[in-house]
């Protein structure tokens, strides 16, 4: 049987003009759900810090965190393209740092890497691409630094954003995330670029959309206003755990063993496959 090939950055680039979904994932079982749902582009975002590690911001996320979770997502999938974020501090200082950190992510399982920045990040993007690693850009609101700089307010300076987007494309990125960009500006950028734009809170005109998994599945009470909740998984999980707790308390679970000792099915640790 021919080996299953992972979706490449060139295939994603060629989706320009065709709408497609992207979503974050951080572990093997949810990555499996994403792939089973027919979504073949997964972002292991450094939003990991907020939604999985319980941090206040993405700034403390380490390269080791991204490697570990990127590897888990890769193990939980067989065909999806796995974009992994370069965390804060791994690429700001030099092109060499950026290439070294990107290589670590690829060794862990990343199909490509993503970094924040426009014109100022162009040299980093070009260096990583020269090292043979596909790159996704990220402009508009940039959460790694937004807390200390311009904040999380929507960006609408069309000229600046278009210049950033063009610089990211010229540097060799195969796609660019537009986060919290004014919808009309996002439409203009999408029309001006040959690479796909991936919008988050940037309106309906981008080529692709990305959401944070925990927002889309309703795992937290609060989510950004642009994030649609497609399920209420926290409620379902809490209900299931209440049922478990009550069955333990009233003795319904576990049931008395039906098999003769030594004759039980073999115990196998759960895995996503
Ligand atoms: O870290 C992340 O999840 C992201 C998305 C919000 C685009 O960068």
Residue 140 burial (C-beta neighbours within 10 Å; 0-12, 13-18, 19+): buried
The verdict on residue 90 lying in a domain is yes
The verdict on residue 247 lying in a domain is no
Expressed in angstroms and rounded, the spacing between residue 86 Cα and the centre of ligand 1 is: 11
Q: Check the CA dihedral 50-140-134-4 and report its sign.
A: positive
**Ligand 1, atom 2: nearest CA belongs to which residue?**
45
The verdict on residue 2 lying in a domain is no
The verdict on residue 110 lying in a domain is yes
Expressed in angstroms and rounded, the spacing between residue 58 Cα and the centre of ligand 1 is: 10
**Average pLDDT over all residues of the chain:** 95
Transcribe 113-154 into DSSP letters: EE--BSGGGHHHHHHHHHTT--EEEEEES-HHHHTTTTTTPP
pLDDT band at 148 (very low <50, low <70, confident <90, very high): confident
The verdict on residue 262 lying in a domain is no
**Ligand 1 contact via 212 beta carbon (within 6 Å):** yes
Given a cut of 90, whether residue 180 has pLDDT beyond it is yes
Given a cut of 70, whether residue 261 has pLDDT beyond it is no
137: which strand partners? 176
Mutation pick for ligand 1 pocket among 31, 43, 139, 175 (CB with most ligand atoms within 8 Å)? 43
Tell me the catalytic residues. 179
**Ligand 1, atom 8: nearest CA belongs to which residue?**
45
Expressed in angstroms and rounded, the spacing between residue 253 Cα and the centre of ligand 1 is: 40
Per the structure, how many domains does the chain have?
1
**Ligand 1 contact via 80 beta carbon (within 6 Å):** no
Compute the distance between CA of residue 160 and CA of residue 156 in angstroms, rounded to an integer: 9
The verdict on residue 137 lying in a domain is yes
Task: Give, in degrees to the nearest 5, the angle at Cα 165 between 105 and 14.
Answer: 70
The verdict on residue 204 lying in a domain is yes
Taking only the tens place, the pLDDT of each residue in 181-207 is 999 999 999 999 999 999 999 999 999
Ligand 1 atom at minimum distance from 45 CA: 1
CB count in 10 Å sphere of residue 259: 8
Expressed in angstroms and rounded, the spacing between residue 43 Cα and the centre of ligand 1 is: 7
Residue-range definition of the domain harbouring residue 201 = 9-232
pLDDT band at 114 (very low <50, low <70, confident <90, very high): very high
CB 97 within 8 A of CB 90: yes
Expressed in angstroms and rounded, the spacing between residue 241 Cα and the centre of ligand 1 is: 29
Ligand 1 atom at minimum distance from 47 CA: 1
Q: How far is CA 78 from CA 13, 14, 45, 241, in A?
A: 20, 21, 19, 31
End-to-end CA distance of the chain: 18
Q: What is the 3-state secondary structure (H, E, C) of 193-235?
A: CCCCEEEECCCCCCCEEEECHHHHCCCCCCCCCCCCCCCCHHH
pLDDT band at 74 (very low <50, low <70, confident <90, very high): very high
The verdict on residue 260 lying in a domain is no
135: which strand partners? 113
Mutation pick for ligand 1 pocket among 26, 30, 45, 179 (CB with most ligand atoms within 8 Å)? 45
**Ligand 1 contact via 209 beta carbon (within 6 Å):** no
Tell me the CATH number at 29. Answer: 3.20.20.60
In the prediction, which pLDDT does 201 show? 98
**Ligand 1 contact via 47 beta carbon (within 6 Å):** yes
| Residue of higher predicted confidence among 266 and 106 | 106
Backbone torsions φ then ψ of 207, nearest 5 degrees? -70, -40
pTM recorded for the entire structure: 0.95
At 120, list the tokens: 């100022």
């Amino acid at each position: 049987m021919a080996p299953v090939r992972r979706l490449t950055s060139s295939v994603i680039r060629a989706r320009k003009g065709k709408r497609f979904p992207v979503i974050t994932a951080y572990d093997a079982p949810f990555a499996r759900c994403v792939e089973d749902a027919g979504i073949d582009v997964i972002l292991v975002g450094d939003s990991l810090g907020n939604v999985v590690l319980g941090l206040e911001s993405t700034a403390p996320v380490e390269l080791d965190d991204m490697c570990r979770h990127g590897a888990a997502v890769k193990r939980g999938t067989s065909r999806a393209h796995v974009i992994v974020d370069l965390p804060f501090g791994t690429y700001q200082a030099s092109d060499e740092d950026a290439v070294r950190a990107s290589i670590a992510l690829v060794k862990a399982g990343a199909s490509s890497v993503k970094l924040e920045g426009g014109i100022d990040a162009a040299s980093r993007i070009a260096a990583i691409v020269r090292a043979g690693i596909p790159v996704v850009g990220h402009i508009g609101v940039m959460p790694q630094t937004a807390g200390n700089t311009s904040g999380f307010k929507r960006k609408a300076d069309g000229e600046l954003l278009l210049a950033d987007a063009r610089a990211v494309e010229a540097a060799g990125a195969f796609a660019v995330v537009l986060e919290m960009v004014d919808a009309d500006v996002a439409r203009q950028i999408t029309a001006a670029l040959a690479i796909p734009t991936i919008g988050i809170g940037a309106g309906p005109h981008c080529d692709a959309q990305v959401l944070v998994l925990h927002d889309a599945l309703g795992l937290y009470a609060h989510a950004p206003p642009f994030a649609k909740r497609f399920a209420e998984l926290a409620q379902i999980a809490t209900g299931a755990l209440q049922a478990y707790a009550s069955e333990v308390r009233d003795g319904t679970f576990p049931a008395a063993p039906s098999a003769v000792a030594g004759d039980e099915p073999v115990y196998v640790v759960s895995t996503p496959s």
